[in-house]
Structure 1
Amino acid sequence: MENQKSHSYLKVAIAACFGTFLEWYDFLTFATLAVVFAPLFFPSTDPNTALLASLATFGVGMVVRPIGAALFGSMGDRIGRKPVFMITIALMGLATISVGFLPTYDQAGIWAPILLVGLRLLQGLSAGGEIGGSAVYLTEHAGNEYRGFKTSFLQLMGPLGILFSTLQIALLRNYLSAEDFQSWGWRVPFWISIVLLLIAFKVRMALEETPVFLELIENGQKTESQLLNNFKDPEIRKRMFLLFFCVSSSGAILFFCVQVYTAIFLKTSIHISAGLVDQLSIYATLALLPLTIFSGWLSDKLGRKPVVISGLILGALLILPTFYLLEALATGANEGNITSVIAITATLIGLSGILALVVGPQTALLAELFPAKSRNSAATLPHNLAAGWIGGLLPFIVTWINQQWENSVAGLWYPTILLVCAAIIAWQYLPETKSTNLTN
């Protein structure tokens, strides 16, 4: 019986994780190609202006994530977790595939960036329903033992999405001339989404509804949308804020600092070659995978709260010094100094370790903080609000502050201050949830 349960959970985990991998791959390929998109869709005599426009378009997709979370999270409480998954995966896949067939500014004029922004909005709506909802789905299947460990695998899908995207782009840059890559090579990652979408859709068709949601139906507790009721309940409202500011915002800040902004910083601010940056990003991402699983396991042993808070404190203390160190090592790396390259790699892996402490327990925390009947909407809205408004706009805001101050590191005071505040509030108010019974 135990083996049957383990097999059933493994099947659910693979199906849920593969779909979320596709969501992240589709969503973050855009970030990986932000520097490429700048001249293709936002031509300007000033490269900085074009880059800001490209980063702003990436941010638009993040900003609308809360709308998708409100819409699909509410649907998840009302009609079930599984139907929402089918809708979000189809929406994300179709929007991403379409990006691969878009005309550039030279071909279609102003319609090129308009269409790009429109598809980015659809991606954001889909991600809002998927990311957060998938955490609830997987956690409700995980049972009460080792939830942190078993659900931490979902957090690997973001790094794996970036890794798969980065590997493709590195290979394309290696085998194509710069002219061919700029002409059509950048479209290939989006075209590959066609195959991934078909696989993900087939896998998700075999998913089962969560036992927690089925029990709600059997007990007659299935109700209309819980979204408004969540804001009327003071305890749920308090926990939504704690999730938003202390867990999801902080995880998003560290994720985009470590997985997104570092690559942009290394390429555009300190001018390390794109090929070398892609290689370094791959090494850091590979290191993040076991570190995340370890952090999820550690949260089962020590508790979610101490593990998350340790990540917040380390992030607040080390983000700024780390980027100053990367800046100092840039000259040696550009000259081919192997010691400098190794030092940069070690620094990026260190950042990955800090990120893992916050995101490893995050999947379980999202579900454990809220009662079953309102869990989907209560978890997805603050999580996507944080990821969209705080994390998604982070590269744009940091880059803008850097340009205003004419300093490539000045903008990082923004995430540092947010992490300090999150650590203080979490220390005082974040509850320990590792022993929560999810059926309540």
Structure 2
Amino acid sequence: MTDAAAAEAHTVDRKDRLVILASSVGTVIEWYDFYLYGSLAAIITAQFFSGVNETTGFIFALMAFAAGFAVRPFGAIFFGRMGDLWGRKNTFLVTMLLMGLSTFVVGLLPSYAAIGVAAPVVLVLMRLVQGLALGGEYGGAATYVAEHAPPGKRGFYTSFIQITATAGLMLSLLVILGVRLLVGEEAFKEWGWRIPFLVSILLLGVSLWIRLKLSESPAFQRMKAEGKGSTTPLKDSFGKWPNLKLVLLALFGLAAGQAVVWYTGQFYALFFIEKTLRVDPALANVLVAIALFLATPFFVFWGWLSDKIGRKPIILAGCLLAAMTYFPLFHALTGAANPQLARANATAPVIVIADPADCSFQFDPIGKTVFDSSCDLAKSHLAKAGVSYKTGEAPAGSVASVRIGDMIVPGFVGDAAGRAAWEKTLGEALTAAGYPAKADSALVDKPRVVGILFLLVLYVTMVYGPIAAALVEMFPTNIRYTSMSLPYHIGNGWFGGFLPTTAFAIVAATGNIYYGLWYPVAIAVLTVIVGGLFIRDRKDVDLHA
């Protein structure tokens, strides 16, 4: 019987189901732990970064979120080496234990008000531990499942791992929503937010119990039995140009584009709805959870289809579609989620007219700079209100003013009392022009919002469903864990993980609420070009060779 015939004849038996379940459930829990932080960024800002101004605090919170992603490649190197030397199973048991315990500790941390600067320091430390652990987790789970899969079904088998990231996010949103409804919004902001972090210890126990039932990967066992293992997986992966070239192609031709599409469709969309469109957080979580639930089966569909037509065309098509449609989709999202804001943007555009020398780039890495020029005060207030604006040039030395449609609100320079009065005047002018303080939940076109979010997540399923199989197939068994983990986690940890911070920084610098999308669009186009020209599809390669 040929390999193709054997693959068609093979059915998913009890052993296969245990392999997929154990790898997937453990990874769901790890992603659940990791995404709790991202979903609660606004509350964590208030709890751990209350010693700085609101805008800087929110950027700090996003940076702390990104810190976990920043160290993922280092986790990939360390645990990837361990996995190639000592085995896939033992390695991802260690990574899961580190992930679960660090998340549990976050639920116990005192706030900034209780212990001062030690609170954000310990929080970031826990984020770093989470990032290191997750850096070693994914490569192990993907390699383990792929090495168990029969020929011709690797895309299908590994697609169940691809579900886990979305399932983990969806689980975190549902737990957060459940706790919010149970204790009430005020109690949730004060102490209830800790509960989702604390219950992760129970999920950790379940995952460990399931994973302990596993045996080692057959490809790894065969490699060890034949004495073909690498004693220097780091050197063999990155110190030799033929394999290093594959690592670079995997990064720029697959993983980078996949990452930005993934984070735009799931995380940036949530941040955009909550922070920019100012939709009620509980409602935003429900709408995103519904879209995730509807789109999740497509991870398996695209994984299955990639076994038939290849990984490359599906991944690159997802990147290209995303790059072509992000701007119209996010404009449509504004109209559906906050129609009052969309109408005001169209009928009463806002322009900050200021001396360029009076305007600063409002990001303070240590939280000590006071942005009190008339230009900075105007832009800061508009940014907090989620108002898109343009900048016009005024004569040197003049006080900034804000044009709202046909109205002009004079700028302000002075004491705190005068500033409060000026902010009230500006707020009243924005309200008079139709800009809402927050989205009216009754006016949110919920089916339309879910439809747009579903399409964004559908792109995610296209790029993410086949990616595990595509990366595993690029590298030999003796250095597979190390080699595939690094490009995946540079892509997802750096290109993807820094997306919310980078996008919001671009928005803050330009004043345009949509300009943050240029970042994922540019990276997705880069991947389409590199992947289209230089990546060879390897769906039929023998993983045991």
TM-score relative to the length of structure 2:
0.78
Q: Does 1:429 align with 2:436?
A: no
1:383 aligned residue: 488
Aligned 1:288-303 pairs, distance under 5 A: 288-303=295-310
Q: Does 1:36 align with 2:43?
A: yes
Contact 1:22 1:161 in 2 (8 A): yes
Contact 1:132 1:366 in 2 (8 A): no
Determine helix, strand or coil for the equivalent of 1:163.
Answer: helix
Q: Does 1:70 align with 2:70?
A: no
Q: What amino acid maps onto 1:345 in structure 2? A: V
Q: What amino acid maps onto 2:155 in structure 1? A: G
Aligned 1:242-257 pairs, distance under 5 A: 242-257=249-264
Identity fraction in percent? 35
1:350 aligned residue: 455
Using the TM superposition, give the Cα deviation of residue 104 of structure 1 relative to its aligned residue in structure 2, in angstroms: 0.4
1:83 aligned residue: 90
Structure 1 residues 122-131 or 312-321, which shifts more?
Answer: 312-321
2:522 aligned residue: 417
Which entry has the higher C-alpha Rg, 1 or 2? 2
1:373 aligned residue: 478
Contact 2:258 2:524 in 1 (8 A): no
1:215 aligned residue: 222
Using the TM superposition, give the Cα deviation of residue 392 of structure 1 relative to its aligned residue in structure 2, in angstroms: 0.7
| Contiguous gaps of at least 5 residues in structure 1 | none
| Contiguous gaps of at least 5 residues in structure 2 | 1-5, 341-438
CA distance in 2, matches of 1:320, 1:133: 36
1:326 aligned residue: 333
Contact 2:51 2:112 in 1 (8 A): no
1:52 aligned residue: 59
Deviations 1:350-388 (A, max 9, x none): 111111111111111121111111101000111111111
Q: Does 1:117 align with 2:124?
A: yes
Using the TM superposition, give the Cα deviation of residue 137 of structure 1 relative to its aligned residue in structure 2, in angstroms: 1.0
Contact 1:28 1:161 in 2 (8 A): yes
Q: What amino acid maps onto 2:78 in structure 1? A: L
Equivalent of 2:115, from 78, 84, 108? 108
CA distance in 2, matches of 1:250, 1:131: 18
Q: RMSD of the TM alignment (CA)?
A: 1.7
Deviations 1:71-120 (A, max 9, x none): 00001111111110111111111101100000000111111001100111
CA distance in 1, matches of 2:232, 2:136: 15
2:417 aligned residue: none
Structure 1 residues 232-241 or 358-367, which shifts more?
Answer: 232-241
Aligned residue pairs, count: 440
Deviations 1:48-72 (A, max 9, x none): 2111010000000000011111000
Higher helix residue share: 1
Determine helix, strand or coil for the equivalent of 2:199.
Answer: helix
Determine helix, strand or coil for the equivalent of 1:55.
Answer: helix
Using the TM superposition, give the Cα deviation of residue 191 of structure 1 relative to its aligned residue in structure 2, in angstroms: 0.9
Using the TM superposition, give the Cα deviation of residue 337 of structure 1 relative to its aligned residue in structure 2, in angstroms: 5.7
Determine helix, strand or coil for the equivalent of 2:445.
Answer: helix
Determine helix, strand or coil for the equivalent of 1:158.
Answer: helix
Contact 2:98 2:130 in 1 (8 A): yes
Equivalent of 2:501, from 392, 396, 407? 396
CA distance in 2, matches of 1:346, 1:93: 34
Contact 1:77 1:225 in 2 (8 A): no
Equivalent of 1:197, from 188, 200, 204? 204
CA distance in 1, matches of 2:27, 2:290: 22
Determine helix, strand or coil for the equivalent of 1:15.
Answer: helix
CA distance in 2, matches of 1:115, 1:370: 37
Determine helix, strand or coil for the equivalent of 2:235.
Answer: helix
Deviations 1:163-212 (A, max 9, x none): 11101111222222322101111011111111111111111111111010
CA distance in 1, matches of 2:75, 2:441: 46
2:272 aligned residue: 265
Using the TM superposition, give the Cα deviation of residue 336 of structure 1 relative to its aligned residue in structure 2, in angstroms: 4.7
Q: What amino acid maps onto 2:543 in structure 1? A: L
Contact 2:88 2:216 in 1 (8 A): yes
Equivalent of 1:340, from 431, 445, 456? 445
CA distance in 1, matches of 2:12, 2:520: 42
Q: Does 1:228 align with 2:235?
A: yes
CA distance in 2, matches of 1:336, 1:24: 29
